[in-house]
Amino acid sequence: MVAGPDRLNVVFGVRSATVALAATGAAVVLGLSALALGDFPMTLPEVMGVLTGRTDGFARTVVLEWRLPRAVAAALFGAALAVAGGVFQTLTRNPLASPDIIGLANGSFTGMLVALLVLGGGWPLLMTGSLVGGLAAAVAIYLLAYRDGLQGFRFIVVGIGVSAMLASANTWMLLRVELETALFASAWGAGTLNGVTGATAVPAGACVLLLLACVPWLTPALRQMDLGDDSARATGVRVDRVRLAAIAVAVALVSVVTAVAGPIAFISLAAPQIARRLARSPGIPLGVSGAVGAALLLGSDLVAQHAVPLTVPVGVVTVVLGGGYLVWLLVHEARKRP
Amino acid sequence: MPPVHPPVGSEAGPVPRSRPARLAGAAALLGAAVLLSLLVGANLLPVSTVVDTLAGGGTDESRFVVWEQRVPRTVAGLAVGAALGVAGALIQAFTRNPLADPGILGVNAGAAFFVAVGITFLGVTSPLGYVWLACAGALVLTVVVYGVGSAGGDAAGPARLTVTGVAIGAVLSGLTTGLTLTHPDAFDRMRGWSAGSLLERGFDIVLPVLPLLVVGLAVAVAVAPGLNSVALGTDVARAQGVDVGRVRLAVLAAVTLLAGGATAIAGPIVFVGLMVPHLVRWTLGTDQRAIVLGSLVVAPTLVVQSDVLGRIAVLPSEMPVGVVTAFVGAPVLIALVRRSGASGL
């Protein structure tokens, strides 16, 4: 390309904003559909009536108490996973470096399995187990990887090691329990929004919003670090602090989501890659990633609830939809290449 | 495609002064692992009995234990380990991505999906049936990934192939999960298979797959020198007269045969192919020929030793080898990455 850097930035900026807007629009449409669809189907005007406070009664209960928490959770959780994945991929400059890979998901699953199999279950206990498991895995990886500062690649390799051990422990536990228990645990382990209610969605959603609000503070420094640690230092970025803060925010985002919904697969890996391709940006656009992630999880949950004969965990659908779309993009991208 | 950069701060690993000595040490460890695998089990045979039985003597019972159980199982462990280690070395050099493992091309996901479909819809229940399903799945998946990765006429570059493999593999693993969660019987069979085990992998299962592995290993050895050039970048390799397209195709063929064959024998064992090449790079340096050779020796050691450990760890039952490899290998990997920093490619 011949355009100067400023011109390029503007072009990428406009395109990113357009894509982000389109993805947000898609998320809103999908969210409204989620409010309308179900055993008690409603029309869009009916849904709007409830949302604007003009309709009362049963419709109000259905929309506000049953469907809204789940839809809002899907949007926020999707954005959270996507942004966390984008941060990890930017820090390590590796498209494979999703939080799933560094052990958080497996740690959460281990914690949940221990809560279910040893301590006896119940949703609050399972959520606590998952949160403790995921965070313990993150702390263990951090401590094991720390040596004169935290280096991205070492962090990932240690994460893979810890992750593999946890996955083995999970496999082992699932092999030793009764089929029914293993099936229930596996469905949760694939990631599901079935357990989401207002009581869990509100605190989790608030945490996610708070964490997402931290991301714009980190973005400029992350952009600098994308050019290499040394050049970032030269422009006054405190590299180690930024890296630690970014990892902490990303880990917290994933942990909150996983505690409520289980390890929902593939969004943190696919959404940033999809966003990058749609926005045609050189780095990973975090805002666009968030919007794509929200649309992806909302759409996947609609499919999981209504489009397949048996209810499947939403994580199964995110993998199929997100993966399928990524494959399509790859083919499309290749065709358009001169 | 984003360039898949080599890790920050990585440089060519230490150039070892004593490569032959280290290889010999690794070979000695492998010998010890094989010996242990013949000796240790649910009932411990004395060394003299095992030696006697191997030489053609022994009692009926010792002949059964040694020849019917431990020898085939050890051979299976050696074959699976060698295949996974070499496949891992190839795929990491090829994609220039230290996080790549043989499953990255969707090989494991394809094998698992075909096995799940076979169990759910075709009523396949025998381990030998799984073997052919797994092989077919691995093969089909690699062809599809390569086809999608090189769509548009351009030869598939490593970074593109990586993302394509991850994406298609993920789609299939999602379908597998959906399929098994809605079919409890298939779920029950799959959770045994997908843990990765060498239990009762007799010669009837190992022998049909062995030719695939031998061909895969031969291709791997042949292509290793070319990988050294490709590792310097496509342009450099072309300037050195290396046919990059042919090297890529050979690598894909070898990885499919090796990872597919190993998965057919033992089920998906995910960690070995990822970690062993790192371990070898840290001890033998970055020459791809040394890495392939080293992985050929070190990976079977890890698998056979893990299998031995799995037999006695939770008596009276057994722990599948795929569960043990991570617990044996991961601490080593972590210790190494702490000690020597990043491992360049």
Q: pLDDT band for position A3 (50/70/90)? A: very low
Q: Is B339 on the interface with A (CB under 8 A)?
A: no
- Cα of A337 vs its chain's centroid, Å: 30
| B-interface mutation test, from A106, A150, A171, A331, most B Cβ less than 10 A away | A171
Supply the DSSP symbol for B6.
P
- In B96-242, which ranges are continuous DSSP H helix? 107-121, 127-149, 158-182, 184-193, 203-230, 234-239
Assigned token pair, B259: 């990872």
- Residues sharing a CB contact under 8 Å with residue B118, sequence separation 6 or more, in sequence order: B124, B129, B130, B133
B243–chain A nearest CA distance, Å: 22
Instruction: List own/partner pairs for B136-140 with CB under 8 A and 24 or more apart.
Output: B137/B110, B137/B111, B137/B112, B137/B113, B137/B260, B138/B107, B138/B108, B138/B110, B138/B111, B138/B256, B138/B259, B138/B260, B138/B263, B138/B264, B139/B110, B139/B256, B139/B260, B140/B110, B140/B114
Half-sphere exposure of B298 (CA within 13 A, CB side): 30
Chain B residue numbers with beta carbons less than 8 Å from the beta carbon of A171 are 191, 194-195, 320, 322-323
Residue in the structure block whose two tokens are 């759409």? A299
The verdict on whether omega for the bond into residue A263 sits within 30 degrees of 0, i.e. cis, is no
The pLDDT value given to residue A307: 81
Contact status, residue B277 vs residue A160, Cβ threshold 8 Å: no
Contact status, residue A190 vs residue B47, Cβ threshold 8 Å: no
| Distance (Å, whole) CA B36 – CA B56 | 19
Q: Is B95 on the interface with A (CB under 8 A)?
A: no
pLDDT at position A180 over 90: no
Interchain proximity A337–B192, CB inside 8 Å? no
Among the ranges given (A31-45, A265-279, B145-159, B195-209), the one the predictor scored with the smallest mean pLDDT? B145-159
A311–chain B nearest CA distance, Å: 9
Contact status, residue B171 vs residue A327, Cβ threshold 8 Å: yes
Closest chain B residue to A160, measured at CA: B330
| B-interface mutation test, from A243, A319, A331, A336, most B Cβ less than 10 A away | A319
- In chain A, which ranges are continuous DSSP H helix? 5-36, 44-51, 58-60, 68-92, 104-114, 123-145, 152-176, 179-189, 198-225, 229-234, 239-261, 267-279, 286-302, 314-336
| C-alpha dihedral sign at A157, A158, A161, A166 | negative
Mean pLDDT in residue range A110-128: 84
Q: In this predicted model, what pLDDT tens digit does every residue of A239-253 receive, in sequence order? A: 888 888 888 898 889
- Say which CATH class B6-41+54-339 falls into: mainly alpha
Q: In this predicted complex, what is the ipTM?
A: 0.78
Interchain proximity B148–A154, CB inside 8 Å? no
CB pairs < 8 Å spanning A and B: 191
Contact status, residue A71 vs residue A31, Cβ threshold 8 Å: yes
Interchain proximity B174–A147, CB inside 8 Å? no
Closest chain A residue to B154, measured at CA: A334
Q: In this predicted model, what pLDDT tens digit does every residue of B77-130 receive, in sequence order? A: 999 999 999 999 998 888 777 777 887 778 888 989 999 999 989 888 887 888
Half-sphere exposure of A183 (CA within 13 A, CB side): 16
- Residues sharing a CB contact under 8 Å with residue A54, sequence separation 6 or more, in sequence order: none
Residue in the structure block whose two tokens are 């090449």? B277
Assigned token pair, A324: 């399928």
Chain A residue numbers with beta carbons less than 8 Å from the beta carbon of B270 are 164, 167
